[in-house]
Structure 1
């Protein structure tokens, strides 16, 4: 089994577990990002309060709306990303060794090369998996009113852009969301938000650059220490992953909000503030009607969710990669011993 495949499978496994743990936070965050109501009382609701509100008004299962396609998307995204990242990383390492043989450099992969490898892997990932995340966003932002009086009141007071969320459709599942996207914009509707998402490949690029830099420095410090144990523990991997994701999230969060706005259901009638024709139109309307603070809606929730998810992912991925390599090494040793002399 190739090292790229091991990293791809480990990344998919770690991503699924991290997604299961943090999904309710992700659902609440997507709703916060796509909320266009400027009423101050709604702004004051914290993450826990919003989670409680969703459970009370729509049922606890709405916190897991879109979980199935999200798990598929997570497995696909992490698998694709880590697979191609390792391929690009291997090529960067081979290039670095060739340069060292020619007397240039020390043979190690620099920060720029790591950034390029992560960016290329991110672009491939975005282009292949964006349709899945459009469907997930639709399912996360779909709201269900559980009581008929509440529905009647909502219908009598709602604007055109909220009526679609007030009616409890019999089954707003994956197939319905797919059909809704297709009916709105055809096949290209599944690539809504792809432009800001492509720009957002800088998030994992920054994340991995920070992570690998901190990991390298930690290993170098351990190697210089007099202690016998030079390894890195799972807890340290967890903390390094959390710090790396925190730094990347702070830089790229506004693009994440724009992406969510574009992927959520678009309404062509009613208040034009709530309809975006494209990335630039969304950015300009958000600045005009909401100010720059609109680009940071739900940021505290996102930081908690993304940092926790990234930390869990890194920790589990490293353990899975370590375990897989250990098993493969043992198999090679056993196979070698079983051969006749």
Structure 2
């Protein structure tokens, strides 16, 4: 089993665990990002209150709307990302080693190279998995309604009432979203928001650049003591992942809001202010009608969710990679180091 495949599978598993733990926060955050009327209470309510209101008016299941396609998307995204990240990084490390043999550099991958590797991996990931995330965004922003059947003063038949009840209360499935997207814009509809999402590649790129830089410094520090360079604990990985994600999220958050706005359903009866022709049009209208604060809606929720999810993902992924390498190579040194560390 190749090192890239090990990292890909470990990343997918870590992503699924992180997703399960933080999904209600993701649902609330997506709703915050896509709320276009600042006068509504949902624009001002805190995260906990919004979760309470969703449960009260729509039921617990709405906090997990789109969970299954989201888990598929997470497994696919993390698997694709880590596979290509490790593949590109291995090539970058080989190139750095070749340069070192020729007397150029110190043989390690620099910050700029780490950024390029992460960016290329992110672009491949976005282009392959964007359709899944469009479906997830639609399902997260779908709201159950309790509307009465409009009669316009006319009597209605029992069949009409039953049909209306079925439409209003039927479960909102991924298959419904897929059909809706295809009816709206054909196959291109599944790549809505792909431009800001590609720009958002800078988020994981920054995240991994920060993570790899901090990890390298931590390994050097450990190399000077009895733990050795591989004696990094799960808690240290957790903290490194959290710090790296925090820095990346603060810088790139407005693009995430724009992406969500482009991916939600554009209703024909909506005000023209809420219809976006593209990325630039969305940014312009949001600033014009909602102010700069509109680009940062729900950021506090996103920071809590994404930082915690990233920290869990990194921690789980690194532990699974160690376990997989031990199974494949039969190298007991990792186990011995773990025992020494506990003692």
> Aligned to 1:168, what secondary structure does the other structure show?
helix
- The residue aligned with 1:302 is 302
Alignment of 1:121-136 (within 5 A): 121-136=121-136
1:88-116: per-residue Cα shift (whole Å, max 9, x none)? 00110011011111110011000111100
Aligned-partner SS, 1:277: coil
Alignment of 1:321-336 (within 5 A): 321-330=321-330
Q: Which residue of structure 2 aligns with residue 96 of structure 1? A: 96
Distance in 2 (CA, whole Å) between partners of 1:73 and 1:310 is: 16
Measured in 2, the distance between the counterparts of 1:322 and 1:70 equals: 27
Q: Tell me, which stretches of 5 or more residues in structure 1 are unaligned?
A: 157-166, 333-341
Pick closer, same or farther for the CA change 1:236–1:88 going to 2, 3 Å. same
Q: Distance in 2 between matches of 1:253 and 1:29?
A: 12
Measured against aligned partners, the alpha-carbon deviations of 1:132-163 in whole angstroms (never above 9, x if no partner) come to 00000000000002xx4xx239999xxxxxxx
Say if 2:15 is the partner of 1:15: yes
Structure 2: gaps (5+ residues): 153-166, 333-343
Q: How does 1:1-341 map to 2 (within 5 A)?
A: 1-39=1-39, 41-145=41-145, 148=146, 151-152=147-148, 168-225=168-225, 227-228=226-227, 230=229, 231-330=231-330
Write the distance in 2 (CA, Å) between the matches of 1:292 and 1:153: 39
Asked if the contact 2:119–2:205 (Cα under 8 Å) also holds between the matched residues in 1, the reply is: yes
Aligned residues: 318
Kept in 1, the 8 Å contact 2:8–2:79? The answer is yes
Per-residue deviation, 1:222: 1.6
Contact 2:35 2:42 in 1 (8 A): no
Q: Is the 8 A contact 2:22 2:305 kept in 1?
A: yes
* TM-score for the superposition, normalised by structure 1: 0.90
Deviation at 1:224, TM superposition (A): 2.2
Kindly provide the CA deviation profile for residues 166-224 of structure 1, in whole angstroms up to 9, marking residues without a partner as x.
Answer: x7351210000111111111100000000000000010000001011111111111222
**Other structure's SS at 1:113 match:** helix
- Cα deviation for residue 77 of structure 1 reads 0.1
CA distance 1:153–1:294, change in 2 (3 Å): farther
Query: CA 1:228–1:63 in 2, change beyond 3 Å: closer, same or farther?
Result: closer
TM-score, structure 2 normalization: 0.89
Q: Distance in 2 between matches of 1:168 and 1:300?
A: 33
Once residues 155 and 65 of structure 1 are traced to their aligned partners in structure 2, the CA distance between those partners, rounded to angstroms, is 31
- Rounded to whole Å, the distance in 1 between the matches of 2:53 and 2:149 is 18
Aligned-partner Cα distance in 2 for 1:50–1:195: 30
- What CA RMSD, in Å, does the superposition of the two structures yield over aligned residues? 1.9
